[in-house]
Homo-oligomer: A and B are copies of this chain.
Amino acid sequence: MNVILDLCIIPIGVGVSLSPYVAACEKVLKEAGLKMVLHASGTNIEGEWDKVFAAVKRCHEVVHQMGAPRISTFIHLGTRTDRTQTMDDKIKSVEGKLGGP
């Protein structure tokens, strides 16, 4: 089962600068060989369910190891059985309906 997942990991108790932790997670996801795109509120990830969630768990482990005593994470994910759809497909599907001049 393939999944398109949006991940937002918030370390708590480490001050206001969270980017070092987000960068560490980006490395975890990259090392897992997952297709991913960073955006302003999270990271879009595409891949096989088990592989994606193993990486999400690894992110939590790494962020705790970096010193965060508490983590709050938000995930939005989608699966579908009617057809194959990539992250690019989803964006193009909307853009195709926005029309031109």
Q: Is the CB of B71 within 8 A of A78?
A: yes
Chain A residues touching B, range: 35 or more
A79 adjacent to B87 (CB under 8 Å): no
How many chain copies does the complex carry? 4
- CB–CB A87/B6 < 8 A: no
Contact A77 B73 (CB under 8 A): yes
Task: Please report which residues of chain A, range 50-101, place their CB below 8 angstroms from some CB of chain B when the two chains form the complex.
Answer: 50, 53, 57, 60-61, 64, 69-82, 87-88, 90-91, 93-98
Using a CB–CB cutoff of 8 Å, the interface residues on chain A facing chain B are: 1, 4-6, 8, 10, 12-13, 15-16, 18-20, 22-23, 26-27, 37-42, 44, 46, 49-50, 53, 57, 60-61, 64, 69-82, 87-88, 90-91, 93-98
